[in-house]
Structure 1
Amino acid sequence: MSTATFVRPEPLQGSARMWGTVALSAATFMNVLDTSIANVSLPAIAGDLGVSPNQGTWVITSFAVANAIAVPLTGWLSQRFGQVRLFVTSVLLFVLASWACGLAPSMPTLIALRALQGFVAGPMIPLSQALLLSSYPPALAGTAMAMWAMTTLVAPVMGPLLGGWITDNMSWPWIFYINVPVGLLAAFGAWRIYASRESQIRKLPIDAMGLALLVVWIASLQMMLDLGKEYDWFHSDLIVGLGVVFVIAFAVFLVWELTADHPVVDLRLFARRNFWGGTLATSVAYGLFFGNVVLLPLWLQQYMGYTATDAGLVTAPVGLMAIILSPIVGKTVHKVDPRRYVTFAFLTFGLVLWLRSRFSTQADMFTILVPTVIQGIAMAFFFIPLTTITLSGIAPDRIPAASGLTNFARITAGAMGTSIVTTVWENRAALHHAQLVEYVQRGSEATQQALQVYRSAGMNAEQALAQLNRVVDQQAFMLAANDVFYASAALFMLLIPLVWLTRPQRGGAGGAEAAAGAH
């Protein structure tokens, strides 16, 4: 999204434009990579720092929540300090935070540093778009955004592969250290090329109260979701307290933002049917998608015996079909009703999750890989058309605020989806474990046969029982994962009518510049 009103500089020419595109793309790649590279490394990080893998999901959610908070501030910060200065500063701070993450001695420290990393990363993606668009003539804006979008699609493919390989062959801190050389080169290149093209600077008031309330309600909600399973939910005074803080802060936030002269979040945009329908569909769908993206490698590594590298190989192809199909979708989205594309995307997501809901503990790598490849098709038809719907009919001067708000909602939903999915998975596993144990009685013939097999393999009675319990655990978490996949498929189906409540306008806002903002 464009983030400041200024006289458009002349497009870059020749090698300057090429190297400018490379520098901006490298920074974007590094940022998006960090949303997925830690997924397959969670068990290793959690084991090394002495917490459970599900507690390790804080490494992902803290980054996402802080990133979501920073996105609405990008417009004010860029007008206050300049787009180029803010972008380069954001990249350099991201490098510093990444280096510190690799040195983190404990999980609380790592979570705090990941939150810092997410916060300073907030301006990078919207500003990389704005600077890239200023580098190309208007006639090539679509080409520029297609190249930018390809970067954001390649990164999720590389993230699990790179994260898995680094975790297995080096050590998990290196998933953060690799940002250092990439970030330094991106910052140096961007400053050399864009420093002379700085945007106008204006002193604008900031909605400090709105920002404070935003931080309080998001932080309390996310902490409630992340800590709930450890503290037995609302049987705990801590969780009740966090719930009360969230409700009060959110209610005051809504009233304040609707009456403020310079709100940090323009809630009046929700008066538009296309905007609220598109934003809600985007947020729920992304929450479901991201929650399942985190769940799959956790299940594979904890209960299917996969290494981090193998889990990365299975989850990486999610972007392959998206890379192939996204340019086609971008070129045709204004010729076809975007609601048809989104409907196709949600039906495909539903198919993928339904296929996963039929997995068993005997599933081979090919069986697990097929739905992941198909999911890339859904991704291609999901982001660009939904952003086109969401921003349809909005005046150009309100596009930055609208794009920032829908991105804020999407990123927040991704963090919430991660917490909710892992919590439901654990709860369903406990239920299935209790049900399965009822069939494992010492007197039953099947139990005796299983114990006899283990004893004949050289185990004593205690070891045989422990092995039997591991098998029950594996089955319980497999059945629980199936439940989550099936419920997610059903929710994608329920989102389809919501999409058809919108009335996208042909040729309205949400073109090449806006569409890329969904990523």
Structure 2
Amino acid sequence: MAPEEPGRAAYVVLLACTTLGTLSSTLITSPINQIADGLEAGPREIVFAVAAFTLAMVVAAPLAGWLCERLGPRRFLVASLGLMVAAGIGAALSPDLLTLVGMRALQGLACSAIPPAVQQTLGFFWVHNRARVMATWASAIGVGQALGPPIGGLVADLVGWRGVFVTHAALAGLLAVLLLRVVPAAPAGRPPMHVTGMLTLVVGAGGLVGALTVVGQGGALVTTLALAAVGLVGVLVHLMIARRSSRALVEPRLLREPRYFRSTVAAGSVMSILGMFIVATPLELGRGFGLSPGRIGAITVALAASMAIFAPVSSRIGERITPRRVMHAGLAVLVCTPLLVPPALALEGSTAPLVAAFAVLALSGCAIGAVQSVAALGAMRSPASRNGTAMGIHNMVRFSGLAAGYAWVALSYPTGHLMLVFAGPATLAALTLAVVLVGPPAAPVVDTAPTLGTGPGSPAVGT
């Protein structure tokens, strides 16, 4: 029997937490050049302040999924928002780039709690309306992308870049209070903890994403190879443990299930493409056109606003032509639109390039919102949705994609070849489309009431 749905206020607060999580990364994209100047950092170094946030989310995501199930989503989320407040104040007071990077990493650690906590709560209380709820969740991500650049640009123009972090800390504190007041607690579970399995998963993911980050920063080849080797060994050992141990965090069959696998690959890829857009575009608008943070935000808002608007529309389209076809169409669009950004910015005149870039970003945002919405629905309807760590792995892949996107920009943008920068997302979209086209559609599912905390060995009900 499905639990009674909470009121609209609870739904809005949960979606606002998702929006805040996105704001955590996008607030600094518009004033990124101002922050670099204030801390005397170059374009490659300042991207590390963005990447550190995502790297921390990747490393923490599997454990966050487990803790969310163990402690209960609301309790875990409130505690994480408290950490986010402290990290935001620390970022505002940062005297140098190293301190800012550390505070951004703490913010990322706190932010890793938001996706599993919100997804588990929405999935528990709104079980019979899951398709549209997940589409609205994806839309909330787009809202954060939309609000981040203009809010960050406006605050930076008015009071300087440090005020951006103070604003974010205040919003996190407000949401923590509202969560306690209006959102009911979904039940906690008793998922098993396999320490070796969790450790190897975290080391593996951290090593691989760390290698990507070091590459983007132009780090030493030896360091990059060492991190990649540690990450690869960690992942391989984790897979061996998962196959042989009855206490494994996640049964491998859950991760191989077609709906979960395709959704996770698509989610990670589209987040990588998003990361490339939201870092490369502000850098070029600031350094190539000399725009202020506020004007950069006014242009890049097209990407995220279209994500927010189109995600619910894609859900309705999916009801007519199937969600899988919506995902295929979105990825096909993303094969083309990144390659339109360089010629758009190369147009003659002072206004035409900006208008053309706005249009290309808007179309790209529609495609990203569609793929993100379908990927979220697919993950929540898979048998793996019953396992907190499996959903943590799904979010780990999403965050890893974002980190890979940032690393690509940090590596390619200093070459001065903008077409090379945007060939990255186009190529990734083509490869992802090829992956999700393979194989027949997954079996139909029926939404049923969830049972949290059953552990990886329990029967999973299709959702």
Return the TM-score normalized by structure 1.
0.77
Shift in CA distance, 390/102, structure 1 to aligned 2, threshold 3 Å: same
Residue 95 of structure 2 is aligned to residue 105 of structure 1: yes
> Residue 459 of structure 2 corresponds to which residue in structure 1?
none
Higher relative contact order structure (alpha carbons within 8 Å, sequence separation ≥ 6): 2
> Residue 496 of structure 1 corresponds to which residue in structure 2?
433
- Deviations along 1:358-379, whole A, 9 cap, x unmatched? 2327463112211011112212
Matched residue of 1:54: which SS?
helix
Which of 289, 293, 303 is the aligned partner of 1:318?
A: 303
Aligned residue identity for 2:297: G
User: 1:55-454 alignment to 2 at 5 Å?
Assistant: 55-132=45-122, 138-139=127-128, 141=130, 144-194=133-183, 197=185, 199-200=187-188, 202=190, 204-228=191-215, 233-234=220-221, 237-264=222-249, 266-358=251-343, 359-360=345-346, 362=348, 364-389=353-378, 394-395=382-383, 398=386, 400-426=388-414, 429=415
Aligned residue identity for 1:324: I
CA drift at 1:315: 0.7
Matched residue of 2:321: which SS?
coil
What is the CA–CA distance in structure 2 between the aligned matches of 1:505 and 1:254, rounded to whole Å? Answer: 24
Pick the structure with greater CA Rg.
1
What is the CA–CA distance in structure 2 between the aligned matches of 1:505 and 1:414, rounded to whole Å? Answer: 27
CA drift at 1:110: 1.6
- How many residues get paired? 446
Which of 11, 26, 29 is the aligned partner of 2:5?
A: 11
Query: Do the aligned partners of 2:339 and 2:426 also contact (CA within 8 Å) in 1?
Result: yes
> Residue 421 of structure 2 corresponds to which residue in structure 1?
484
Structure 1 residue runs of 5 or longer lacking an equivalent are: 1-6, 430-476, 514-519
My pick for the range that moved more, 74-83 or 36-45, is: 74-83
What is the CA–CA distance in structure 2 between the aligned matches of 1:200 and 1:389, rounded to whole Å? Answer: 23
Query: Do the aligned partners of 1:345 and 1:378 also contact (CA within 8 Å) in 2?
Result: yes
Aligned residue identity for 1:245: V
CA drift at 1:419: 0.4
What is the CA–CA distance in structure 2 between the aligned matches of 1:227 and 1:144, rounded to whole Å? Answer: 37
Which of 37, 51, 54 is the aligned partner of 1:47?
A: 37
What is the CA–CA distance in structure 1 between the aligned matches of 2:264 and 2:91, rounded to whole Å? Answer: 32
- Deviations along 1:220-250, whole A, 9 cap, x unmatched? 333333333655642xx43343343333333
What is the CA–CA distance in structure 1 between the aligned matches of 2:189 and 2:388, rounded to whole Å? Answer: 17
Matched residue of 1:105: which SS?
coil
Query: Do the aligned partners of 2:260 and 2:379 also contact (CA within 8 Å) in 1?
Result: yes
CA drift at 1:212: 2.7
What is the CA–CA distance in structure 2 between the aligned matches of 1:222 and 1:497, rounded to whole Å? Answer: 23
What is the CA–CA distance in structure 2 between the aligned matches of 1:397 and 1:279, rounded to whole Å? Answer: 12
Matched residue of 1:210: which SS?
helix
Matched residue of 1:104: which SS?
coil
Query: Do the aligned partners of 1:141 and 1:512 also contact (CA within 8 Å) in 2?
Result: no
CA drift at 1:114: 1.4
CA drift at 1:329: 1.9
Shift in CA distance, 18/495, structure 1 to aligned 2, threshold 3 Å: closer
- Deviations along 1:336-357, whole A, 9 cap, x unmatched? 2333212211222223212113
CA drift at 1:213: 2.7
Query: Do the aligned partners of 2:272 and 2:403 also contact (CA within 8 Å) in 1?
Result: yes
Shift in CA distance, 45/335, structure 1 to aligned 2, threshold 3 Å: same
What is the CA–CA distance in structure 2 between the aligned matches of 1:125 and 1:343, rounded to whole Å? Answer: 24
CA RMSD of aligned residues (A): 3.0
Query: Do the aligned partners of 1:72 and 1:405 also contact (CA within 8 Å) in 2?
Result: yes
Shift in CA distance, 259/18, structure 1 to aligned 2, threshold 3 Å: same
CA drift at 1:316: 0.7
My pick for the range that moved more, 96-105 or 490-499, is: 490-499
CA drift at 1:145: 4.5
CA drift at 1:507: 3.2
CA drift at 1:190: 1.6
- Deviations along 1:358-404, whole A, 9 cap, x unmatched? 23274631122110111122123211223445566x33764655443
Shift in CA distance, 65/365, structure 1 to aligned 2, threshold 3 Å: same
Shift in CA distance, 263/361, structure 1 to aligned 2, threshold 3 Å: farther
- Deviations along 1:11-58, whole A, 9 cap, x unmatched? 33xxxx233234323322221111211222222222222221211112
What is the CA–CA distance in structure 1 between the aligned matches of 2:64 and 2:446, rounded to whole Å? Answer: 21
What is the CA–CA distance in structure 1 between the aligned matches of 2:71 and 2:379, rounded to whole Å? Answer: 29
What is the CA–CA distance in structure 1 between the aligned matches of 2:120 and 2:217, rounded to whole Å? Answer: 43
Matched residue of 1:178: which SS?
helix
> Residue 435 of structure 1 corresponds to which residue in structure 2?
none
Query: Do the aligned partners of 1:68 and 1:412 also contact (CA within 8 Å) in 2?
Result: yes
What is the CA–CA distance in structure 2 between the aligned matches of 1:376 and 1:511, rounded to whole Å? Answer: 32
Return the TM-score normalized by structure 2.
0.85
My pick for the range that moved more, 40-49 or 146-155, is: 146-155
Query: Do the aligned partners of 1:33 and 1:155 also contact (CA within 8 Å) in 2?
Result: yes
CA drift at 1:131: 3.1
Matched residue of 1:381: which SS?
helix
Which of 3, 19, 30 is the aligned partner of 1:29?
A: 19
